[in-house]
Amino acid sequence: MTLHRGTPLLESIPLSGASGRRVFLKMENMQPSGSFKLRGVGHLCETAAREGATRFIAPSGGNAGYAAAWSGRALGIPTTVVVPKTTSEEAKNTITALGAEVVVEGSVWEESNDFALALASKHRGARYVHAFDDPLLWEGHGTMIDEAAEQMDKPDAIVLSVGGGGLLCGVVVGMDRNGWEDVSVVACETEGAASYAAALSAGRVVRLPKISSVATSLGSLAVAPRALEVERTHRIVSHVGTDRSAVNACKRFLDDHRVLVEPACGISLAQVYEGKLPEDARTLLVVVCGGIGISAKKLEDMDRAVF
Ligand SMILES: *Cc1c(COP(=O)(O)O)cnc(C)c1O
């Protein structure tokens, strides 16, 4: 049995009505770890465990760290999650509640990552768990498309969010193994976290000077090089929206489907609500990527803080 769960595919009447398309939702928010990350991280950790890994080391105070902690707990393997100083007590407690060790190191993710890499190289048998740049992650994320291919006919487009591009690369892996290689992908980011749009327009991976967006789960300064490569072989449309759009979409989705998601997920929903989609895309599959970094209170605060 895998660590991730099969998720429901729902036809959304509200999103279909708003966009004038037929919209299906892949409910990845329902993974035990609250986001799609468990598909890739779970697959990576299970594979590593089979190969004799004795510890997982993950640099992330967000959904990837939580998925690693979840995997370690399920597999009975000690897990260290390295988080930057900016990580909230609440986020740290959520991770330690799974039995993982939290190490606070660095003021930004890059510094936590350097520390995690050093720790992993010192520790015999340790497996470093990247949040988005590892072929094993992509293979695991691809299972959501294996499932979708059983649940629905081939859509015209898949709408998803891009942080470091792991979800994108994984969805492409899944598309390729299900005869969906000709499906368009709408890759959504927020202004202030648009490392993929920047890479696409430059034709190479570029490093953003900083992240400034409420969609913190999209906050990687640079995408995985593979995310740029898949654009040469697949029809990928990049969309950058505002934090305001992302937060509005979270609120609207909460009312429409009674489901609370992070703005990182909201930005994908926003493109559908606002009809920013390829003209010829009649049927859409939206990856509801989820995320645990949200609450009723946080959404209210964001709603007030975002211009
Ligand atoms: C990680 C994450 C993303 C972005 O995924 P990448 O693989 O980094 O592109 C989007 N939404 C949520 C909720 C996430 O946890």
Same domain as 289, residue 223: yes
For the CA of 40, the closest atom of ligand 1 is 7
Residue 162 CA, ligand 1 centroid: distance in Å: 6
- The residue whose CA has the least distance to atom 1 of ligand 1 is 217
What is the best residue among 33, 41, 63 to mutate for testing ligand 1's pocket, by most ligand atoms within 8 Å of CB?
63
* Structural Rg of the chain based on CA atoms: 18
Position of tokens 């990049």? 238
Under 8 Å CB-to-CB from 282, ≥6 apart: which residues?
Answer: 21, 22, 156
Final residue in a domain of this structure, among 75, 98, 128: 128
Residue type, 253: F
Q: Give residue ranges with CB within 6 A of ligand 1.
A: 35, 37, 63, 132, 161-168, 217-218, 220, 262, 264-265, 289-291
**DSSP-derived 3-state class of residue 251:** helix
Are the C-beta atoms of residues 133 and 224 closer than 8 Å to each other? yes
pLDDT in tens, 201-232: 999 999 999 999 999 999 999 999 999 999 99
Same domain as 254, residue 196: yes
- The residue whose CA has the least distance to atom 13 of ligand 1 is 291
Q: Spell out the per-residue pLDDT of the chain, length 307, in tens.
A: 899 999 999 999 999 999 999 999 999 999 999 999 999 999 999 999 999 999 999 999 899 999 999 999 999 999 999 999 989 999 999 999 999 999 999 988 888 999 999 999 999 999 999 999 999 999 999 999 999 999 999 999 999 999 999 999 999 999 999 999 999 999 999 999 999 999 999 999 999 999 999 999 999 999 999 999 999 999 999 999 999 999 999 999 999 999 999 999 999 999 999 999 999 999 999 999 999 999 999 999 999 999 8
The tokens describing 169, both together, are 């690369």
Position of tokens 């792991």? 166
Final residue in a domain of this structure, among 95, 113, 128: 128
Same domain as 162, residue 61: no
What is the best residue among 39, 167, 169 to mutate for testing ligand 1's pocket, by most ligand atoms within 8 Å of CB?
167
Minimal CA–CA distance to 91: which of 75, 80, 102?
A: 102
Same domain as 84, residue 23: no
- The residue whose CA has the least distance to atom 4 of ligand 1 is 163
Position of tokens 């260290």? 80
CATH number (domain holding residue 90) = 3.40.50.1100
Same domain as 195, residue 279: yes
The tokens describing 175, both together, are 């598309």
Same domain as 301, residue 207: yes
Q: 156-184 as b/e, with b when 16 or more CB fall inside 10 Å?
A: bbbbbbbbbbbbbbbbbbbbeebebeebb
Domain housing 295: 9-36+135-305
Residue 70 CA, ligand 1 centroid: distance in Å: 17
Same domain as 249, residue 164: yes
The tokens describing 118, both together, are 């050093």
Number of domains in the chain: 2
Please tell me the pTM assigned to this model: 0.97
Q: Classify 161 in phi/psi space as left (phi over 0), alpha (psi -120 to 50) or beta.
A: beta
For the CA of 170, the closest atom of ligand 1 is 7
The tokens describing 7, both together, are 């998720």
For the CA of 265, the closest atom of ligand 1 is 11
Residue 163 CA, ligand 1 centroid: distance in Å: 5
Q: Are strands 126-128 and 101-104 parallel, antiparallel or unpaired?
A: unpaired
Strands (E), the chain: 9-11, 22-27, 55-59, 79-83, 101-104, 126-128, 157-161, 184-190, 236-241, 283-288
Residue 167 CA, ligand 1 centroid: distance in Å: 6
Position of tokens 């859409």? 284
Residue 179 CA, ligand 1 centroid: distance in Å: 24
Name the percent of the chain lying above pLDDT 70: 100
Most distant CA atoms of the chain, gap in Å: 55
